[in-house]
Chain A
Amino acid sequence: MEQKKNWQSFGELNKSEAYNKEVENEFKEDLPMVEDHSGLLNAKAPRRDFLKFLGFSTAAAAVAASCEMPIKKAIPFANRPEDIVPGNANYYATTYVQDGDVVSVIAKVRDGRPIKLEGNDLSPITGGGTSARVQASVLDLYDTARLRFPTIAGKEATFEAIDSAIGGELNSNAVIVTSTITSPSTKAVIAQFLAKYPGSKHVTYDAVSYSGMILANEASYGKRALPSYHFEKAKAIVSLSADFLGTWLSPVEFARQYAAGKKIDEKNPAMSKHIHFETVASMTGSNADEKYLCRPSEMGAIALGILNAVKGKEITGVDEKLKSAISAAAHALIANQGAALVVAGSNDVNVQILVNAINDAVGANGTTINFGVAANYRQGIDSEFAALVDDMNAGKVNAVLFHGANPVYTWPAADKLKSGLAKVKTTISFSGKLDETTAVCKFVIPDHHFLESWGDAEPITGHISFIQPTISPLFKTRAFQDSLLKWSGASADYLAFLKSFWSAKLGGEAGWNKAIQDGVINPSLANVAGASVNGAAVANAIAAVSAKKPSTKIELALYQKVGIGSGQGASNPWLQELPDPVTRATWDNYIIVSPAMAKTLLNIDLNNPGQADAYEVQPPKKVVRLTSGKTVIELPVLIIPGTHPNTIGIALGYGRTEAIGKAVVGTGKNAFPLSSFNGQTVVLDNADIKLELTGETYPVALTQTHFRYDTTQGNRTEIMKELTLAEYKHSPKEIIEERANEYRGQIMGGEKMSDEEVVANFAKDATIYPVYDRPGIKWGMSVDLNSCNGCGACVVACNAENNVSIVGKPEVLRGHEMHWLRIDKYYSGDLENPNVVFQPLMCQHCDNAPCENVCPVAATNHSSEGLNQMTYNRCIGTRYCANNCPFKVRRFNWADYSGADSFPDNQEGIVNDVVLNMSDDLTRMVLNPDVTVRSRGVIEKCSFCVQRLQAAKLDAKKDSRPMVDSDIKVACQQACPTNAINFGNANDKHSAITKVRVENPNRSFYVLEQLHVLPNVTYLAKVRNAEEHAEKAEAAHKA
């Protein structure tokens, strides 16, 4: 029978050309790919690729379709916005600014949401480095505690209402109190405002101030400013307890510079020498080559001692121990004349003048310190603010405008400030959150988050970094500058102001666009200038310092933590859960004491293994009551070696108001009342304290505990390798020898092999199984322990990139933290003043992984590229893999931390509010859509940022070229300010990772190599440029 033909139109019947064309173009819309399709179609095997794409999309659709998770609010665009391709990220250069901290960053924006910040490589200051606080700041954007609208006396108001109310109140004698402003345009805006209201002024107030330095520079050099520093040019660095790698001035910049002096060329090993005078164990001190303990009150004497020693005079006023330390420091400085640098954390003008004098004597000016280019990181002068407080109390101030400063929380005499504020008629706060100062202000006009703002910053004179918005303001907020412009009567808004401000300087629109695109403008040549010290000022300082009697009592040193700072990080759960580099504690502050003081104060002897164990394994720590004048605070005590026996430390920034976020609830106590204002500067030391044991305990959530682990059968040397520069120079093959001796016995005939042969053949010869080639890509990582300073930027970057859950304090207490990457801390040497080494540890992606073969359902397996992969939706949660992991890097979802569970919304009362808040719709906007949010009951771990690897491979494939190393940076590597982490294809002979491994054969080691799990992460041993050990090594080898 003839086939009957059905037709719907004449066109179809006749197969007309027009009809055929129409059929072909029935679904006319292009695929959402911006790129040239020709690359894809001209690729070597387009048909195969097509089939692969088809296969992948079918599989993906099948997986997606079979997934039962409810999709909330997935509303497609009616019209696709320009430049937004679903699934593709856009990157915008902007700048992280918090107080005086400035870091140029690139914001990764997915579907209109900024989700990750990466360092901007174009900035010569940070060179693409970031800090934990920078990485965490993106979470602040989505903070549910942000103020959502302006208020007058606590009631919601419109901007118009506020402007008219303030317009009526503002007339004269207004004071703008800000934290350090590095923005030239904002300063211009402020100047306009001040001009409009007579008698007004701008007071810069820094919570942790550097007034002492600024005033000292004025006295010494006649310059009321900070110089720019060049740690990279210093061969000898002496730090008088300045935490310049963690919190001092511009740590990202200094860490990068410092690391340059610590990178070792194996063929010609040399490194800078860092001598640190430590009061309370700090991150910077932990990285020092030599570390000496002293009291805060001895700083002046030490500075004077060093000054005398470098000038060849006698050292007086200190004990014998310190005397030798001072002469060692002076020796190193003199030996490196012209490449030496002394920095001091003290806020005492006299100490800083002496430091200036030392720097002058060792030729630092014009080499490692440049007064020709001022740094603008901190500009606050404490006495100006103190005068303002007096003025307020005297009723001389009509209006106060707070921006970035929170003195009600941070000022030592907060009560006096509050009573003064009560006398001020108009109080205005621009804070984005209801912080302590904002709570007592009448008008609150929340400012944008920096990711919603326009702006600029000039951290170092001549270096401009621009801020551009990456998202429309989420709430009814307004830029601080816009408010000021409005009240100054200007017609232009801040964007127009900023644009005209810079366009003029940058040569019009094109220059402006280029600057915004790059994010930075760098000066062509650095202006280097020396300076000479004012002798009279030094003489006065010497007299003042010599007059001070050293204290014999217990002293308190207040310090800042890397994450929390002076309280800015307190409401950020990522930072609260970031373990402090020194104490490994989260979510709290506490009193740090030395092991020696623990014996007398707490009756705990760390040399007694039973007592040490009991102290370490039980989270509740003894609580001590600290009394200083009228201030009484009770805090738990942690015993931290490397602290002076008569000094205790407390971190600032805790005990914040609960209005700024759920993360601060129940975290620590405010230590600012323990500081004082001495008439000139704020002093963060306190020698007038009394300690008494309360008999109570308080649990502190530590992520690492410490024990002795050397046994009579040997020390665990293959975990962490550390040696001194002298030892290394004397016997460069020492580590290879150690490695070979560790497992020579595991190789048949190993006793006849040389050390190098043993190391080279271990992978294939120490097994009875056949060894397979691993062609193609083989991902590998290398971590240089010499560069790593333990700052934790990588940990927070990993949180952000991989949607790693926050678990809250109660869960950390139970050892449930989820960090994929942790920074382990090891001590060696003396208990009172040990050496400290930091070791970032993530999944080692073992080629012979013990976790893989124990999983009953094969949920974790090995990729052909050397990745140890975790298949979340296969995992049934037996935790066997975690047990069998020698590195203990696998993390289990003990509860529904992410709101991704099959039993939704049942975690109230199970996990705390901070964790629940992380599943809030607003907070969840920070999640990276490329990474699965893990549900309860599955194991997770470091994936080597597999989503980035896949993206890089696809990009290379679309371009029909082989993938190269520069295509990829994993999140931790990207965040690291010191480039301690290298990553890439170890099979590629030209890759950076291969280069690191080839160039550093003598320092490379694998952790727990002898287990033959064959990790893919190499570590480069820590080398310390320590004198004492050098002599010992010499002696040992001679003997």
Chain B
Amino acid sequence: MHLKYESQLREPLVYGNKTYAQVTEDIVRPIEAKPSRLWYIGFFIAVTLLMFGAYSVYREVTYGIGQWNLNKTIGWGWDITNFVWWVGIGHAGTLISAVLLLFRQGWRTGVNRAAEAMTIFAVMCAGQFPIFHMGRVWMAFFVMPYPNSRGPLWVNFNSPLLWDVFAISTYFTVSLLFWYSGLIPDFATVRDRAFTKLRKKLYGIASFGWTGSTKHWQRHESLSLVLAGLSTPLVLSVHTIVSFDFATSVIPGWHTTIFPPYFVAGAIFSGFAMVQSLLIIVRKVFGLEDYITIGHIDLMNKVIVLTGSIVGIAYLTELFMGWYSQNKYEGYTFWYSRAYLFSPYGWSYWGMMACNVLSPQIFWSRKMRRNVFVTFFMSIIVNIGMWFERFVIIVTSLYRDYLPSSWSVYYSPTIWEIGFYVGTFGLFFTCFFLFAKYFPVIAVAEIKYVLKRSGESFKPGMEKIEAQELESFVHDQAHAH
């Protein structure tokens, strides 16, 4: 799967003089040990937020969408903003696990497990919004195209919202499978180390009877490759389709052909930022600095500065087209409703610009890329910025569209609207805390796979190889066993 050859210039992917046993010990120990106080506090906070979110949703379902401050002009606000935001976050995991797998990027092994978990939890959070933004959520099953007893009632395949249903459910399913298939060997490791009966049994079931035979490994590798192949187009398609919710409409500011690539870039941007936020905490709390290294952080920051700049170009292109098209509606939306700082929502546009385009440019500096604190701070900033991006797209386009007569009064959310958002944080972190406690947060098997090539202690061996003549290298490899 990986290049045999790796430049000596590349820094090791695993620090410390790790052996296979040590790797297992380092990663699996937290599962076997009692959780720390910090874990309990964090978990309690997460569950509290989740409960508040559940109550907010309860109010909205029982009393009506009027519990939110949306209005006749702004039909979507925080709900769909949060939806797109979470879906965007859910992009990094699959990108890391699938696309980087296909591109043979060894460094993904340190971060892929947690990133994929994050993806799954983020998509779960995202899914709440399209469901509960419905006025009659108890009729939500109407969006399912199945032969039914409701007469000739069928879904409308023209609707981008229906495409969303398929895109997101597919993405979720494939991501979950991919994640789980990677977990199987690691669950088996936990099972084999288990010293309580219950744990042995549960992890035994979860590992599907994995024995580690060559046959198993071969099938596992094949499955990974197939799922990676399936996931890769999904990384592009999901946010493309989410962007169609807007791009296929007639509203100035939404009706834009640039949206698919721009949304995908933005999604990867925010996804990587979220991975950074989480992993910086995880490596600290679980002491995994040897596996999730500064090198990883550096690499992901490079992705952030790249995608952030792509997003920036998209913003500028929109502004340019707003002028170049000479379309008065686009012109108004982009140049007044958004880019004019003193218009009612001008602050949100410039907040977005500052967070997404200007601030990531700091990562052109290697020193900054390798600074954990700066990275953590920036990852938060980027996610705030990306939230603003969706807010800007949705609210500033809607609130002043074609007819000035229907332009809206100022929209600010109610406590229950905020509560729903906060609640999804609760859901996300509740899941993530459980994951961190019960699952190996780093792919043990995959780390072992790269350990002998990219582990710190094995790196010096590369010097010899590097000095070798090609013929002798080939000869050596041919007769390796």
Binding site for B on A (CB under 8 A): 609-610, 613-614, 616-619, 702, 704-707, 709, 711-716, 719, 811, 813-817, 822, 824-826, 839, 841, 850, 853-858, 874-880, 882-884, 886-888, 890-896, 901-903, 906-907, 910-911, 935-939, 1007-1008, 1011, 1013
A907 — nearest CB in chain B belongs to which residue? B63
Given contacts A610-B342, A705-B407, A1011-B250, contact A883 B76 (CB under 8 A): yes
A699 — nearest CB in chain B belongs to which residue? B409
Inter-chain contact B135/A892, CB cutoff 8 Å:
yes
Note all chain A residues with C-beta closer than 8 A to B165: 856
A610, A706, A713, A716 — most chain B CB neighbours (10 Å): A713
Q: What are 17 A-B interface contacts by the 8 Å CB criterion? A: A610-B342, A707-B400, A711-B331, A711-B336, A714-B326, A716-B328, A719-B402, A855-B161, A857-B156, A858-B159, A876-B139, A877-B134, A886-B251, A887-B406, A888-B402, A895-B63, A903-B62
0/1 interface trace, chain B 228-256, chain A, CB 8 Å (1 if under): 00000000000000000100111100000
0/1 interface trace, chain B 303-331, chain A, CB 8 Å (1 if under): 00000000000000000000100111101
B417 within 8 A of A: no
A580 CA to B184 CA, complexed, in Å? 69
Inter-chain contact B326/A886, CB cutoff 8 Å:
no
Inter-chain contact A714/B328, CB cutoff 8 Å:
yes
Binding site for A on B (CB under 8 A): 62-67, 69-76, 130, 133-140, 142-143, 153-156, 158-162, 165, 245, 248-251, 323, 326-329, 331-332, 335-336, 340, 342-344, 398, 400-410
Inter-chain contact A618/B410, CB cutoff 8 Å:
yes
Note all chain A residues with C-beta closer than 8 A to B137: 876
Given contacts A858-B154, A906-B63, contact A880 B161 (CB under 8 A): yes
B327 to chain A, nearest CB (A): 7
Note all chain B residues with C-beta closer than 8 A to A714: 326, 328
Note all chain A residues with C-beta closer than 8 A to B156: 853, 855-858
A91 CA to B251 CA, complexed, in Å? 45
B400 — nearest CB in chain A belongs to which residue? A707
Cβ contact of A617, chosen from B65, B135, B336, B344, cutoff 8 A? B344
Cβ contact of B404, chosen from A707, A902, A938, A939, cutoff 8 A? A707
Given contacts A713-B326, A876-B135, A1008-B402, contact A811 B66 (CB under 8 A): yes
Cβ contact of A894, chosen from B66, B138, B160, B327, cutoff 8 A? B66
A800 CA to B30 CA, complexed, in Å? 68
Inter-chain contact B75/A892, CB cutoff 8 Å:
yes
B62 to chain A, nearest CB (A): 6
A129 CA to B62 CA, complexed, in Å? 43
Note all chain A residues with C-beta closer than 8 A to B327: 713
Cβ contact of B328, chosen from A613, A711, A1013, cutoff 8 A? A711
B373 to chain A, nearest CB (A): 38
Cβ contact of A876, chosen from B76, B136, B249, cutoff 8 A? B136
B318 to chain A, nearest CB (A): 15
B297 to chain A, nearest CB (A): 40
A712 CA to B65 CA, complexed, in Å? 38
Inter-chain contact B65/A858, CB cutoff 8 Å:
no
A883 CA to B252 CA, complexed, in Å? 11
Inter-chain contact A824/B409, CB cutoff 8 Å:
no
Given contacts A617-B409, A824-B405, A878-B134, contact A883 B75 (CB under 8 A): yes
Note all chain A residues with C-beta closer than 8 A to B403: 719, 824, 841, 886-888, 1007-1008
Inter-chain contact B153/A856, CB cutoff 8 Å:
no
Note all chain B residues with C-beta closer than 8 A to A878: 130, 133-135, 161
A706 CA to B71 CA, complexed, in Å? 17
Inter-chain contact A884/B251, CB cutoff 8 Å:
yes
Note all chain A residues with C-beta closer than 8 A to B69: 814
A288 to chain B, nearest CB (A): 21
B141 — nearest CB in chain A belongs to which residue? A876
A876 CA to B160 CA, complexed, in Å? 15
Note all chain A residues with C-beta closer than 8 A to B250: 850, 884, 886, 1011, 1013
A224 to chain B, nearest CB (A): 46
Instruction: Name the 7 nearest CB pairs between A and B, nearest first.
Output: A877-B135, A937-B135, A815-B71, A894-B66, A879-B75, A888-B406, A824-B405
Note all chain B residues with C-beta closer than 8 A to A839: 405
Inter-chain contact A815/B62, CB cutoff 8 Å:
no
Inter-chain contact A816/B72, CB cutoff 8 Å:
yes
B69, B72, B137 — most chain A CB neighbours (10 Å): B72
A614 — nearest CB in chain B belongs to which residue? B344
A873 — nearest CB in chain B belongs to which residue? B139
Given contacts A816-B71, A850-B249, contact A856 B402 (CB under 8 A): no
Inter-chain contact A876/B328, CB cutoff 8 Å:
no
Cβ contact of A910, chosen from B66, B342, B402, B406, cutoff 8 A? B66
A767 to chain B, nearest CB (A): 14
A617 CA to B409 CA, complexed, in Å? 4
Note all chain B residues with C-beta closer than 8 A to A853: 156, 158-159
Cβ contact of B62, chosen from A609, A856, A906, cutoff 8 A? A906
Given contacts A613-B343, A619-B409, A1008-B403, contact A937 B64 (CB under 8 A): yes
Inter-chain contact A815/B408, CB cutoff 8 Å:
yes
Note all chain B residues with C-beta closer than 8 A to A894: 64-66, 70
Note all chain A residues with C-beta closer than 8 A to B139: 876
B346 — nearest CB in chain A belongs to which residue? A610
Note all chain A residues with C-beta closer than 8 A to B135: 875-879, 892-893, 936-939
Note all chain B residues with C-beta closer than 8 A to A619: 409
Inter-chain contact B138/A883, CB cutoff 8 Å:
no
Note all chain A residues with C-beta closer than 8 A to B323: 713
B71, B142, B162 — most chain A CB neighbours (10 Å): B71
Note all chain B residues with C-beta closer than 8 A to A815: 71-74, 408-409
Given contacts A817-B72, A825-B405, contact A856 B159 (CB under 8 A): yes
Note all chain B residues with C-beta closer than 8 A to A716: 328-329, 402, 404
A910 CA to B67 CA, complexed, in Å? 8
Note all chain B residues with C-beta closer than 8 A to A939: 135
B341 — nearest CB in chain A belongs to which residue? A610
A715 CA to B328 CA, complexed, in Å? 7
Given contacts A711-B328, A937-B134, A937-B135, contact A886 B402 (CB under 8 A): yes
B103 to chain A, nearest CB (A): 36
A817 CA to B72 CA, complexed, in Å? 8
B69, B142, B398 — most chain A CB neighbours (10 Å): B142
A850 CA to B250 CA, complexed, in Å? 7
Inter-chain contact B404/A857, CB cutoff 8 Å:
no
Given contacts A883-B249, A884-B251, A888-B72, contact A876 B62 (CB under 8 A): no
A939 CA to B137 CA, complexed, in Å? 14
Inter-chain contact A879/B70, CB cutoff 8 Å:
yes
Inter-chain contact A888/B401, CB cutoff 8 Å:
yes
A937 CA to B398 CA, complexed, in Å? 20
A813 CA to B69 CA, complexed, in Å? 10
Q: Name 11 extra pairs, CB < 8 A, besides A877-B134, A879-B75.
A: A616-B409, A709-B332, A711-B335, A813-B409, A814-B71, A824-B403, A825-B405, A856-B142, A875-B136, A879-B133, A886-B251
Note all chain A residues with C-beta closer than 8 A to B404: 706-707, 709, 716, 719, 826
B283 to chain A, nearest CB (A): 41
B30 to chain A, nearest CB (A): 43
Inter-chain contact A876/B140, CB cutoff 8 Å:
yes
A344 to chain B, nearest CB (A): 33
A44 CA to B250 CA, complexed, in Å? 46
A613 CA to B407 CA, complexed, in Å? 11
A918 to chain B, nearest CB (A): 15
Note all chain A residues with C-beta closer than 8 A to B64: 893-896, 901, 910, 936-937
Inter-chain contact A887/B62, CB cutoff 8 Å:
no
Inter-chain contact B161/A856, CB cutoff 8 Å:
yes
A912 to chain B, nearest CB (A): 12
A854 CA to B159 CA, complexed, in Å? 4
A895 CA to B134 CA, complexed, in Å? 13
B135 to chain A, nearest CB (A): 2
Note all chain B residues with C-beta closer than 8 A to A719: 402-404
A857 CA to B85 CA, complexed, in Å? 25
Note all chain B residues with C-beta closer than 8 A to A876: 134-137, 139-140, 142-143
